[in-house]
């Protein structure tokens, strides 16, 4: 709103550099958040019971999904008319989080809600991190493929989101700045 994008357009740089720079800076913030979370967990007694490599893989899974979701946010942020509306879009994240296995197991949910929760990318991420950190928990009942193979599902969700939203974001950014 203060002409920053006009300044960027006047500079001899790629038009997609701003979108990639934004998601890269979000990635740095995500890495910092994961590091703070890991240190705080270690201070209160958390230990990865399946070893350092699996724990690092779990953190990598978190960072990869965060990067993919930052492109989703970039796309939707480019579609709204101003910064205030973009900030209000963050409220839509809460229902997606609540409709996952992050807080409650899916076994006690009605069948229609369990289907939604089990195919939610955040459910796969949660289950994948639990598995890699050595705390998979006990899960009963019939489950969808993402819950049975959470690491693979999270990788597929992340790559799928990147394949879809990186080009959409880049195209939206280029169109918006013409």
- pTM tops 0.95: no
Separation in Å, CA 106 to CA 41, 58, 75, 113, 138: 25, 21, 30, 8, 11
How many helices and strands, by DSSP H and E, does the chain display? Answer: 9, 0
Domain membership of residue 57 as a residue range: 4-176
Count up the domains in the chain and report the number.
1
What is the token pair recorded at 174? 């280029």
pLDDT at 68 (0 to 100): 95
Q: Who's near 144: CB < 8 A, 6+ residues apart? A: 115, 118, 119
Walk along the chain (178 residues) and give the pLDDT tens digit of each residue: 566 666 666 677 776 787 888 889 889 998 999 999 999 999 999 888 888 899 999 999 999 999 999 999 888 888 887 777 877 877 877 888 888 888 888 888 899 999 999 999 999 999 999 999 987 765 555 678 998 899 999 999 999 999 999 999 988 887 765 5
Instruction: For residues 174 and 102, give the distance between their C-alpha atoms in angstroms, rounded to a whole number.
Output: 36
Instruction: For residues 130 and 151, give the distance between their C-alpha atoms in angstroms, rounded to a whole number.
Output: 10
Q: Is 113 helix (H, G, I), strand (E, B) or coil?
A: helix
Gap between the terminal Cα atoms of the chain: 16
What is the token pair recorded at 66? 């965060």
Length of the chain as a residue count:
178
What is the token pair recorded at 80? 């709204």
Tell me which H or E stretch contains 88.
helix 83-89
Instruction: For residues 164 and 87, give the distance between their C-alpha atoms in angstroms, rounded to a whole number.
Output: 22
């Amino acid at each position: 709103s203060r002409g920053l994008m006009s300044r960027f357009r006047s500079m001899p740089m790629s038009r997609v550099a701003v979108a990639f720079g934004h998601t890269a800076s979000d990635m740095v913030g995500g890495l910092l958040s994961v590091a703070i979370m890991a240190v705080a967990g270690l201070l209160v007694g958390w230990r990865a019971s399946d070893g350092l490599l699996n724990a690092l893989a779990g953190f990598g899974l978190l960072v990869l999904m965060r990067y993919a979701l930052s492109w989703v946010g970039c796309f939707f942020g480019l579609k709204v008319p101003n910064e205030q509306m973009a900030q209000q879009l963050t409220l839509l994240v809460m229902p997606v989080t609540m409709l996952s296995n992050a807080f409650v197991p899916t076994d006690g949910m009605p069948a229609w809600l369990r289907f939604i929760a089990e195919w939610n990318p955040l459910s796969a991420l949660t289950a994948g991190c639990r598995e890699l950190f050595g705390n998979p928990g006990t899960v009963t009942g019939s489950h969808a493929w993402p819950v049975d193979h959470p690491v693979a599902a999270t990788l597929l969700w992340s790559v799928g989101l990147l394949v879809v939203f990186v080009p959409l974001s880049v195209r939206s950014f280029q169109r918006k700045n013409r």
